[in-house]
Every structure is written in structure tokens, then in C-alpha cells.
Amino acid sequence: MAAVKFEDVAKSFGDVNVIRDFSIDIQDGEFIVLLGPSGCGKSTILRLLAGLEEVTDGVISVGDKVVNELEPKKRDIAMVFQSYALYPHMTVHDNIGFGLKLMGHKPAEITQKVQEAAIMLQLDQYLARKPKELSGGQRQRVAMGRAMVRNPEVFLFDEPLSNLDAALRSVMRTQIKALHRQFRKTTLYVTHDQIEAMTLADKVIILRDGKVEQIGSPRHVFLHPANKFVASFIGSPAMNQVRAKLSYQSGQAVITLGDTDIPLPTSIDLAKKEEGEIIVGIRPTDIHVHATSVTSGEPLPLPLRVTACDFLGASVHIEADFGDDRMIIESPAEFDTSEGDQVTFYFDSSRLHFFDVESGNSLLSQQT
Ligand SMILES: Nc1ncnc2c1ncn2[C@@H]1O[C@H](COP(=O)(O)OP(=O)(O)OP(=O)(O)O)[C@@H](O)[C@H]1O
Ligand SMILES: [Mg+2]
């Protein structure tokens, strides 16, 4: 069993606090993706778990064992780095088997384990080659093979696919998912790629400046972002966020968006937020060019002036002015519009998100 637990973990380099109050409970076999801007502490969290850095405060456990003081090689954790870190002078076979050799395994046993991993990763015909004679994707698979043969309790991946082109990334993503389905090893995976995060993760952890902003399934964090930061970080193009006014008329919440008053259905609970300015969020895919495309509620008109159009093949990203704010609408490619057009778009209130201006936190109750 290899559940992984971080309890109030902190890490400082000198006076710089890189990780703060970091607590997570990862179940045995879960696939966790860490997402966040560059420098927010993702690699540091993996390195703390692998034992390559020491915690400044808090407790890390693997299974029921506290590993704070344990040397890296005693932690039963294997890490795949972005740079692959292969030994250039060794063959693929020796690169994959190197960890086993260090652990004192017999040559015949090493060769058998390397063979098994190589077949699984479709590397069996390359075992005699050196890393420089391999493509990027093949090198990446060697790095994965090296982690796999050790049969660790926990896998750590630090942006393993970021050096590959889009097509190969997608193949490798499918392969990583299949391997996880087969072996169900607890995995922590760092990526900048939203598609990787959404397709691989049981849960994503969104980090900012070393602190957790939200933890949840990909679906949950997309549909119910806990705050403005998560709302703009998850989803591409990012969620539109515009200023609006909240008031109450005979007890009913009313949002004034531009010149339009939108009475909110009672199913939307803003936790009795007082009247005043708030931020309203709406995803580019929840604004439609036809009223009939609004399927989840009553279509409300949204007149906008188009400022730019980006044709992407399957869709068009339309940029439009909304008062002092800007909105992006993702529309089907057939919709033909151009800069300067005045267009009435449609949306419905059930797809709106609401955030506090000061804290940035969601005003909807079910977001945590
Ligand atoms: N050994 C170190 N000494 C001082 N500061 C460090 C050290 N290692 C990391 N940092 C700092 O800690 C912060 C977090 O670094 P980390 O490598 O974990 O970020 P990251 O989220 O993995 O970023 P990226 O997406 O760019 O890889 C950064 O501000 C970095 O400069
Ligand atoms: Mg990193």
C-alpha cells in the first residue's frame, strides 16, 4: 500500500518560503497532477517526496511510514525527469538496468526485468543503442523504463513529455494512462499541459506561490473553480471575468451586467453576499451565437462589438469589448464575423460564475 500524505509541509530556501502549509492525502493508486505557473513549487514538491530536498517543516508519509529522515534510495519512489537524465555512454539496456545494478541485483535478473520493460515500452529492438541514437520519444521511454524496472510504490513525473512534439506527446500520454490503468501505482505528475492534466488525473492540485488553490477532479475544478485564479488557470481560452453589480429586489438577487439586469434563479446561492460590485465569470464556450444553442436555461442576449477574430479550423475565437472589459467567445467555425461588427450573443444565468472582488473567492457555495 502506498498512500502518500503531506501534512503542513513547508520548504524554504534561505528566507524564501517556496512551499507553505501544503497538506494532501493521496490514496493508494491515485493519479495526481500538479498544475500551476512556473516557479510555484511543483518540482520542489516532487523533490521533497523523492528525498532530494529536505522539508523545513511538516511530515511526509508513504504508506504508514514517515519518510522525512529516510534517504532517497530507501523511499521506494522512482522519478522521471523532464531532461530524462540518461547516461550517454551506456546502452539503453544498461540505462534501464542501472538502478537495479546499484541495488545489487544479479545480471541475469536485471536482463530479464529490462527485457520485460522494453517490450512493454516498445524499446526491445533498441536495447543495444546509446541514447544519442534514439529519438526524443524513445529516450523518454528509456527514462520511464528505468523507473518501471524498480517496481516502486510511487511514481513521480516532472513534465516528462514537454520536450516532445504534439503528436508524440499524445501517443505517450495514452501510453502513460494505459500503464497506470494496468499497474495502479500511486503517481504524482507535473505538467503545464492542460490536456495532459485533464485526461490523466484522478485529481488535480492547482498551486500558486507554494500554496494549494484547489484540489479536485478535473471535471470539478473546471465546473466549480474555487476562486478567480483557478477559473482563469483551468480552461483554454481562459474564463472571461468582468465586473458586474449585485443587488437584491424583493429578496431576489439581481446581477447587472452592462445594461442588462439578470434576476438570478433561487438555485444560485450567493451565500447572502452584500450588494455591490462583484466579478462575473463566463467561459468562452458558454457564450453562443444562436439563442437556440443555449440548452441549459433561458437564453439572455449579450450585445457585443467584435474587435478581433481568430480562425482555428474547427472553431473561431471572437474577441469583443464589454465596457472596459474584454470577452472571448468560442464559436463554431461556420460563424462568419469580423472586426467592428455589432453582434448579439446569448448565454444563460446557470453558466455564470461569481467571485468576490477582494478575495477572488467564488461566491457559490458548492465550490470547495
Ligand atoms: N535550490 C534552490 N535554491 C533557491 N531557490 C530555489 C531552489 N530550488 C527552487 N527554488 C525556487 O523555488 C521556487 C519553486 O521552484 P520549482 O522548481 O519547484 O518551481 P516549478 O513550479 O517546478 O516551476 P517550473 O514550472 O518552472 O518548473 C522557484 O521560485 C525557484 O526559484
Ligand atoms: Mg519544475
> What are 14-48's pLDDT values in tens digits?
999 999 999 999 999 999 999 999 999 999 999 99
**Separation of CA 44 and ligand 1 centre (Å):** 6
Could you tell me if the CB of 38 is within 6 A of ligand 1? Answer: yes
- Contact present, 93 and 127 (Cβ < 8 Å): yes
pLDDT at residue 1, rounded to an integer: 64
Same fold, 4-232 and 233-356: no
Q: Choose among 41, 45, 48: nearest CA to 67.
A: 48
The strands making up 353-355's β-sheet, listed across from edge to edge, are 260-263, 252-257, 240-249, 276-282, 353-355
Average pLDDT across each block of 10 residues of the chain; the chain has 368 residues. List them in order. 93 95 96 95 96 96 93 89 88 94 92 92 92 90 90 92 83 88 93 91 96 96 96 94 93 88 85 89 95 87 93 94 91 90 92 95 75
- Residue 53 Cα to ligand 1 middle (Å): 12
Using DSSP, state whether 3 is helix, strand or coil. coil
Nearest CA to ligand 1 atom 2: 13
Q: 4-232, superfamily in CATH?
A: P-loop containing nucleotide triphosphate hydrolases (3.40.50.300)
Q: Residue 165 is inside which H or E element, if any? A: none
User: Where along the chain do its domains lie?
Assistant: 4-232, 233-356
Q: Which ligand is nearest to the CA of 54?
A: 1
Q: Catalogue the E-assigned strands of 88-238.
A: 154-158, 186-190, 203-208, 211-216
CATH classification number, 233-356, choose in 2.40.50.140, 3.30.1360.30, 2.40.37.10, 3.30.9.10: 2.40.50.140
The residues placing their C-beta within 5 Å of ligand 2, an ion, are 43
Residue 73: predicted pLDDT:
83
Q: Which residue's CA is the closest to the ligand 1 atom numbered 16?
A: 41
Is residue 44 within 6 Å of ligand 1 at its C-beta? yes
The finding on whether 210 has its CB within 6 A of some atom of ligand 1 is no
Contact predicate 131/95, CB 8 Å: yes
Residue 47's pLDDT is: 95
